[in-house]
Amino acid sequence: MPQQHDGTEARRAKVEALRAEERQRSARRRNVAVSVSAIGVFAVVAAVWLAMASLGSDSGAAGAAQVVREDSHRLGTAADGKVTLVEFLDFECEACRAYFPTVEQLRKDYAGRVTFVARYFPIGGHFNAERAARAVEAAAKQGKFDAMYRRMYETQSQWGEKQVPADAFFRKMAEGLGLDLAAWDKAYEDPATLARVRKDAADGEALGVQGTPTFFLNGERIEPRTPDEFKAALDAALAE
């Protein structure tokens, strides 16, 4: 009799153990299933978002993009507003730095006859390019776009091509120009400043700008290789 009782007990314990194991297994399955579902939902949302982003830029490309906007920075304005030269530039780009003296010379030579517009186009691969654009935009808020723009190129060899933030360097630069530093700091960190820079770049992207500098003369893209070619293009536009 006691033996039989023990047998029942053992059987019951075994069944109990099997059940517990089964419960554990199904709990594990549920845990994995819910986790994997979360990953699945995430993947779907990300895919939809990517698709919408790509559609958005395709449709916006033709209509919305403009070579010059009301708020674009003008380095010089033509009295008659007939000829406009727009440069999409990146302060950390060496080619832009190489074109800088030419553009400065053209600004002198064609002052009052050609409108010179500078638009931000910081390249993703340049670590401090967007920061530099923000620094210039922050200076522009105090009416010092031109001065900061020139200082950026003049000092490019000191801050460019580095993988560390050049915030302190740019701040010194702003200080050197006698800017109101508190206001400059605020503008430099202001998301609106970054948005302003990105808006320029978005226009550039929509216009097919891929590298810097990219020049548009009266809305047409030009690729002058020498200062003389540049002058010839401007002269031709003025003569039209």
What residues make contact with another protein under the rule CB under 8 A? Answer: 27, 30-32, 34-35, 38-39, 42, 46, 50, 53-54, 56-57, 123-127, 163-165, 198, 205
Nearer to another protein, 32 or 181 (CB): 32
Nearer to another protein, 143 or 191 (CB): 191
For the bound state, the minimum distance from the C-beta of residue 12 to another protein, rounded and expressed in Å, comes to 18
Q: Are 200 and 73 in contact (CB under 8 A)?
A: no
Nearer to another protein, 134 or 141 (CB): 134
In angstroms, the CA 198 to CA 201 distance is 5
DSSP collapsed to 3 states, 53-89: HHHHHHHHHHHCCCCCCCCCEEEECCCCCCEEEEEEE
Q: Which residue has the tokens 């808020």?
A: 141
Nearer to another protein, 39 or 239 (CB): 39
Nearer to another protein, 67 or 209 (CB): 209
For the bound state, the minimum distance from the C-beta of residue 124 to another protein, rounded and expressed in Å, comes to 4
Nearer to another protein, 112 or 211 (CB): 211
For the bound state, the minimum distance from the C-beta of residue 120 to another protein, rounded and expressed in Å, comes to 12
For the bound state, the minimum distance from the C-beta of residue 117 to another protein, rounded and expressed in Å, comes to 23
Structure tokens at 11: 């059987």
For the bound state, the minimum distance from the C-beta of residue 38 to another protein, rounded and expressed in Å, comes to 5
Closest CA to 171 of 161, 159, 162, 163: 159
Structure tokens at 198: 């990105």
Structure tokens at 96: 């832009």
For the bound state, the minimum distance from the C-beta of residue 100 to another protein, rounded and expressed in Å, comes to 23
For the bound state, the minimum distance from the C-beta of residue 2 to another protein, rounded and expressed in Å, comes to 26
Nearer to another protein, 7 or 208 (CB): 208
Q: Are 87 and 118 in contact (CB under 8 A)?
A: yes
